[in-house]
Each structure stands twice: as C-alpha cells, then as structure tokens.
C-alpha cells in the first residue's frame, strides 16, 4: 500500500509541474532563426536554356492582366513588400529601364515617368485687389501614387520546344496599368511603362 501511495504522490507532482509550465513563450512566429538565411539572396538568377529557332514548332504571344484586387492575387500587394511599389520605385529611381511600348527598343527618362500619371490642378489666383474676377491661372501637379496601380499586364511567349518536347512559357515584359485623370475625370486604363522581365528577374 505504501508503494502505491508514494507512486500516486510522485505522479501527481509530475502532472502539477507540467501544468505550471507555460509553453507559449517557446512558440515563435517563424521570423526568428538561429542563423542568417542568405541562400535565397545569394542564389544567382538562372538564365534561360538555349533554344534554337528550328526547334520551335509552336509559338504564340499572350497578353494577360493580373488584377491585384482579387483574392488569389493579394500576395502580390502584401503590405510589407508590394510588387507595385517595387516596380514604381525602381523606375522613378532610374534602376530599371522604362520602355515606351512593346517593341522594347525606345525608352524614356525617370523624370518623365515621375510626371506620368500625375494630376494637373489649375488654381485661379486673383491679381487685382480691387477686382476679384481678374485672375491668373496657376498650375501644379499631384504626384501619382503607386497604391493606385491595381492591375499588372504580363506579356508572355508560349513556346513548344520540339527537340526536348517541352512547353516553355516565358514572360517577356511586365506592364503596370494606371488610369490617368484629366479635368477630374478618370480615363480608361493605359500602360504606365514597359519593363523587360529579364531586367526585373534579379530583383524578384
């Protein structure tokens, strides 16, 4: 009986100790690690494999639009590092080449890109203290905000490699879309700029 009594006391003490341990302090959010994660940052961009023109038996250029307001695309506008902000900052800071059209040959300056999409505001300033109707127009611009970019167009080449029997979809260009505002009226969507995907790959 004594042995059974002592075993019961020991078991109860162990259960009490386990109940007093707060394991919540050991649960982490996954952000902290005991080592520095540099593998992804140091990983070089893999170039496209060589493809002969004779091996291309099927090719088609495809244009698709991604709406970041849709639930399945919300990851692209994650508040910590949204894709639209990355593209906008790289262009206005002259880190990416801003092309004018889908030929990807002619380009524009970062200064012009800062003005593109900005809203023109005209303010009448009185110049005659005796007559308030005598005015002159003063024009200023409200800078375009990257938060207003809600759609991104992808230009892709769908290629079938006959030699290796592989279908190869390749992104050619990324085009942020915006809606210019003229006289307070929002216009239809237009391309803000064209960017070569090969230029963007090291950043992404």
Between 162 and 35, name the one with better pLDDT. Answer: 162
What's residue 159's pLDDT? 92
pLDDT digits (tens, 9 = 90+) for 95-122: 888 999 888 888 888 888 888 877 777 7
What's residue 154's pLDDT? 93
What's residue 160's pLDDT? 92
Task: Give the DSSP per-residue string, the chain.
Answer: -HHHHHHHHHHHHHHHHHHH--GGGG---S---SS---HHHHPPPPPPPP--GGGEEEEEEEEEEEETTSGGGGGGG-TTS-HHHHHHHHHHTTSS-EESSTT---EE-HHHHHHTTPEEEEEEEEEETTEEEEEEEEEEEEPP-GGG--EEEEEEEEEEETTTTEEEEEEEEEEEEE--EETTEEPPPEE--BEEHHHHTTT-
Q: How confident is the model at residue 172 (pLDDT cuts 50, 70, 90)?
A: very high
Burial class (CB in 10 A: 0-12, 13-18, 19+), 37: exposed
pLDDT digits (tens, 9 = 90+) for 84-97: 888 888 888 888 88
Section 187-202 average pLDDT:
88
Per-residue pLDDT for 197 more than 60?
yes
CA distances, 167 to each of 33, 55, 58, 196 (Å): 39, 12, 9, 21
Section 143-167 average pLDDT:
88
Burial class (CB in 10 A: 0-12, 13-18, 19+), 80: exposed
Give the residue from 180, 177, 182, 174 showing the smallest Cα distance to 200: 174
CA distances, 104 to each of 79, 99, 101, 112, 172 (Å): 30, 6, 6, 17, 10
pLDDT digits (tens, 9 = 90+) for 16-74: 544 454 544 444 445 566 666 666 566 777 788 888 888 888 989 999 999 999 999 88
Give the residue from 92, 133, 125, 136 showing the smallest Cα distance to 111: 92
What's residue 23's pLDDT? 45
What's residue 39's pLDDT? 62
């Amino acid at each position: 009986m004594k042995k059974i009594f002592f075993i019961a006391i020991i078991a109860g003490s162990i259960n009490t100790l386990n109940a007093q341990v707060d394991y919540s302090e050991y649960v982490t959010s996954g952000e902290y690690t005991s080592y520095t994660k540099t593998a992804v940052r140091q990983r070089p961009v893999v170039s496209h494999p060589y493809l002969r023109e004779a091996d291309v038996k099927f090719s088609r250029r495809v244009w698709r639009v991604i709406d970041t307001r849709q639930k399945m695309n919300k990851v692209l506008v994650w508040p910590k590092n949204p894709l639209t902000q990355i593209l906008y900052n790289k262009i206005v800071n002259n880190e990416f080449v801003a092309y004018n059209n889908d030929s990807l040959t002619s380009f524009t300056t970062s200064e012009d890109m800062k003005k593109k999409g900005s809203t023109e505001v005209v303010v009448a300033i009185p110049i005659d203290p005796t007559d308030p109707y005598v005015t002159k127009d003063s024009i200023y611009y409200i800078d375009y905000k990257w938060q207003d970019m809600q759609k991104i167009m992808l230009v892709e080449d769908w290629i079938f490699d006959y030699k290796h029997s592989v279908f190869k979809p390749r992104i050619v260009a990324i085009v942020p879309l915006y809606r210019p505002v003229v006289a307070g009226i929002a216009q239809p969507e237009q391309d803000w700029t064209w960017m070569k995907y090969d230029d963007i790959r090291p950043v992404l």
